[in-house]
Amino acid sequence: MGRNVRKRRSPLVVRAVAASAALAIGGGGLVWANFYASAHEENSGQNSTKAATAQVATIYCPDVGQQLTDVPDQARGEVDGELATLDQQITDAYQRLATTRDAQAQDASFVQNSVLQPLKDNRAVIIDRIQLEISRVGGNAPGTLDGLASCTGEAVEQPQTNDGQAGDGQDQNGGDQNAESPAPGEDTGGEAPPVGGGQGGNGPVAADFQDITTAQGNADRGVGANGLVASGKTGSTGTFTTRCGTNGNDNHNTDNVIVAPGVTNGAHHLHDYVGNQNNDAFASDDALAAADTTCENQGDKSSYFWPVLRLQDGTQDFDQNNAGGGTEGNVGKILEPVEAQLKFFGNKTGDVVAMPTALRIITGDAKAFVNGLANANTNWSCTGFENKVQLEDKYPICPEGSNVVRTSLFQSCWDGQNIDSANHRTHVAFVQADGTCANGFQAIPQLRVRLVYDVPAPTIENDQVVNAYAVDSFPEQLHKPITDHNDFINFFSTDTMNKMVNCINTGKKCS
């Protein structure tokens, strides 16, 4: 099933973050304050990230794409392009917010008049286009879209997750986007951690890190914020491992062919790619099916991709002057995983069925910091601690001899019909608490991506984090660990997929 690229869109190259702005919310409304946040704080020759004394505001905009659960196929190409334009508008507005601190200090209404109101006006135009494109082909746009144009400047607060532990996350299948997650700026009963700083001027900060040895154990949650690993001692207990390398050939781009097909820099952050070697914004399904693969098993041409992890030690990488890289706050040395394990599991209540060719799955939410936790699915830990502690909203500081581990678990229930959906979520879902699939969905092999990194341990000194590391993110997401996510497009050959299903259903361990 090929994809038609209707038109090529290239977002404008945005300006580098030169400074940071902050807002405080007072009893009389919005009070815009100025706090200096240096992009480079030197401490004994090391790069330090400003924390307690430097804060930055971010911009919260309702996620239009998550409301589009039913877009006719004829309109999806155009709608995806318009959604990418909305992302670009937020990026531009955030950059203006971050580079106008002097004007904000002199004029309390500057942000509202010069950042938020123009953003609202621009968003309203694009939302109108989305509605017209859907109605033009006989569809019905949600009535809620008209209320999604307005954005707010927010005093940043970290989403609260039961003392750092993840919730059940069963809304990842595209359900209620208002599921009991605190909105940005909402009072969660605790002091908001400081934000700002970072080598790129927009995070991370000391409050984003935790010494793994002092973290509360949550082994009962298992590896995966949503639904645990589906398999167990019953049902389909086998596994299938595919080995596709660690992106040693530096296959990177800032596109995302799933959510922004045909859009250059649609992700606004850099991805690592393993497996399929032809994945960019303009790759059709036919092109992906014909591509080379880094997988040892040539029957696996699937595409596995995730945001890169960077070490903010004062160095830069090849993309320091590129859109999606340094010009959007994604700076530092790109770290290659020392291990990238791609493993498929079964279902603890029964057999699994084959995935359809070109099935697309996204796990986690790249915008979770402002969207809330409904679709968040992050697991950070250290080797030697994975069965004890999984952090959702903190980057781990690992002890000597231990490496950083990122683990992503994918949805393992499929609607039996679609390889994608308008919001890229409703065609798949996580299992229910008892391991079954709801709503007539079918169990498919569950992918687990486990990435291991040899990262120099950051240190916290005087409320500053020295030699921080962070995932790439949209600029307004401030490199929060909660925004980690992972992507998969299935291009296993029929024979290899059938071998995987047979191995899993018969309790074998295959690779």
The pair of structure tokens assigned to 500 is 């995987």
Ranges 43-57, 104-118, 474-488: which has the least confidence: 43-57
pLDDT at 154: 79
How far apart (Å, rounded) are the C-alpha atoms in residues 480 and 493? 37
Q: Is the pLDDT of residue 499 over 70?
A: yes
Contact 34, 104 (CB under 8 A): yes
Within 13 Å of residue 131, how many CA atoms lie on the same side as its CB?
14
pLDDT at 201: 82
pLDDT at 101: 83
17 — pLDDT class (breaks 50, 70, 90): very low
The pair of structure tokens assigned to 33 is 């304050």
Domain boundaries, the chain: 22-510
Q: What is the pLDDT of residues 124-171, one digit of tens each?
A: 999 999 999 999 999 999 989 999 999 998 765 444 443 333 333 334
Across residues 227-250, what is the average pLDDT?
Answer: 86
pLDDT at 108: 85
Q: Which of 17, 51, 16, 56 is nearest to 35 (CA)?
A: 56
Q: What is the mean pLDDT of the chain?
A: 83
pLDDT at 196: 57
Mention every residue, 6+ apart, whose C-beta is less than 8 A from residue 15. Answer: 95, 99, 327
pLDDT at 156: 57
Q: pTM for this one?
A: 0.83
Contact 23, 156 (CB under 8 A): no
Question: Tell me, what amino acid is at 128?
Answer: D
Contact 395, 209 (CB under 8 A): yes
Q: Is the pLDDT of residue 25 over 70?
A: no
How far apart (Å, rounded) are the C-alpha atoms in residues 199 and 109? 29
The pair of structure tokens assigned to 448 is 């687990």
The pair of structure tokens assigned to 35 is 């706090």
